[in-house]
Structure 1
Amino acid sequence: MPDFADLRERMIRRQIELRGIADPRILEAFRAVPREAFVSASYAEAAYEDRPLPIEAGQTISQPYIVALMIEAAEIGRGDRVLEVGAGSGYAAAVMSRMADTVIGIERQHNLVQVARERLDRLDFSNVIIIEGDGTRGCPEEAPFDAILAAASGSHVPKPLVDQLAPGGRLVMPIGNPNWVQHLVKVTKAEDGRLQQSDLGEVRFVPLIGEEGWRDG
């Protein structure tokens, strides 16, 4: 049986800290979440490798560094309400829950919703709520959000997500064709509602499916 605690520490040091993400709150959040519990049993031994991994419903769990980069860009802090679009198996939501007050995760795949809820409940991540639905429409009944992260690439930033950002809120998501390299962007909503967008670099994500995203199939 692998020493997962040791592998987790190596991942944090080599894949995250050495790449320039040194915020101790982020590093501690990653230490608090067993990534091996959020992948299929057959991939548990690969949980801390520097790459995405397959999860249920034909989806993937993002590379650890990319998760950390998005969390850093979103500037998640104590007391924040966070929305994650494309919650997958619940791993990123669990990490963010160690830094925020509440995390709402939206997932369109029914099987993944059930899996994520079971894992988060079993591991006692009690401040994470997983909702089944179209993440491109956000979650207006739980808005406004201090931070919104999308783990899938759209052709544009969905207006409902921008509308659900609190003044001063930050949105981080990839933009671009799902069959090509995309760009990770950060949108900051000023107190007066004006938007400022910055480019955080090239990434590759699965397509964002939904009313404000790409068509399924």
Structure 2
Amino acid sequence: MNQAVNSVPGEPDDLVRALVAAGVGDERLLEAVRTTPRAGFVPADQRAAAYRDVPVAIGQGQVTTQPSLSAMMIEGLGLDGSEHVLEVGTGLGFQTALLARLAADVVSIEMRPDIARRARVNLARHGVRNVELRVGDGSGGVPDRAPYDAVLVSAAFPEVPAPLVAQVRPGGRLVQPIGPGGDELVVCFERSASGLARLRVVASACFVRLQGRYGFSSGEFPS
């Protein structure tokens, strides 16, 4: 496996340079990207693109978040290493691994069991131990592990679902794409005593829709 990863065109430093060019300045985050091999978190047939600043297809109609956008969203959380973090949308685990490097621990929830299974394998292979991975409806968060110091949502909805608002600790931050799916503003919020206060727009982007009871659909999801 290490030999296959090392043979991938490009290097982590190529990705770091792309993040810096996009405006990412958090040195801890840049070092996490440099030392977390993205090639180990993408399908084998997509490894040629692992160190390019592009999303890659991961199956079931899903793609990874573009690395520079993911980094800008993580940077918006303002992590210092002490946080208890919720991630909605695990994908194949690269963003999860970055969050795990930058926070005390991460609870990540993924609605697709097969994708979650692959993420577990990837995280274990790379020695990421401070992640609890759940399969279920991320639009409702993971209330039994709340409150969270930071929440990162990797899918779009016109507003932040009420359960996610309730699970952010006062003073904590939440970053989510706000919009209909396919044309969003990624917004950073801070939790106050009265709810979420909008801090700033992180970027414009195109995300898949947030599905679930508190999202765009109300189908059955595994617990």
Give the TM-score range, shorter chain.
Answer: over 0.9
**Is 1:112 the equivalent of 2:115?**
yes
Equivalent residues in 2 for 1:171-210, closer than 5 Å: 171-178=174-181, 180-190=182-192, 192-197=193-198, 198-210=200-212
Checking the alignment, whether the CA contact within 8 Å between 2:8 and 2:47 is kept in structure 1 is: no
Percent identical among aligned pairs is 37
Structure 1 CA distance for aligned equivalents of residues 9 and 148 of structure 2: 33
Shift of 1:200: 2.4
The aligned counterpart of 1:80 is 83
Structure 1 CA distance for aligned equivalents of residues 218 and 58 of structure 2: 19
Supply the AA of the counterpart residue of 1:102.
D
Shift of 1:6: 5.5
Q: What secondary structure does 2:11 align onto?
A: helix
Supply the AA of the counterpart residue of 1:188.
E
Checking the alignment, whether the CA contact within 8 Å between 1:32 and 1:98 is kept in structure 2 is: no
The aligned counterpart of 1:126 is 129
Runs of 4+ in 1 over 2 A off after TM superposition: 1-6, 192-195, 198-201
Q: What secondary structure does 2:60 align onto?
A: helix
Aligned length: 214
Q: What secondary structure does 1:170 align onto?
A: strand
CA shift in 2, pair 1:129/1:152, >3 Å:
same
Structure 2 CA distance for aligned equivalents of residues 164 and 119 of structure 1: 27
Checking the alignment, whether the CA contact within 8 Å between 1:32 and 1:95 is kept in structure 2 is: no
Structure 2 CA distance for aligned equivalents of residues 101 and 204 of structure 1: 29
CA RMSD of aligned residues (A): 1.7
The aligned counterpart of 1:52 is 55
Q: What secondary structure does 1:55 align onto?
A: strand
The aligned counterpart of 1:10 is 14
Checking the alignment, whether the CA contact within 8 Å between 2:10 and 2:51 is kept in structure 1 is: no
Q: Deviations over 1:147-202 (max 9, x none)?
A: 10011101210010010001111000101112x41111111013x34431132231
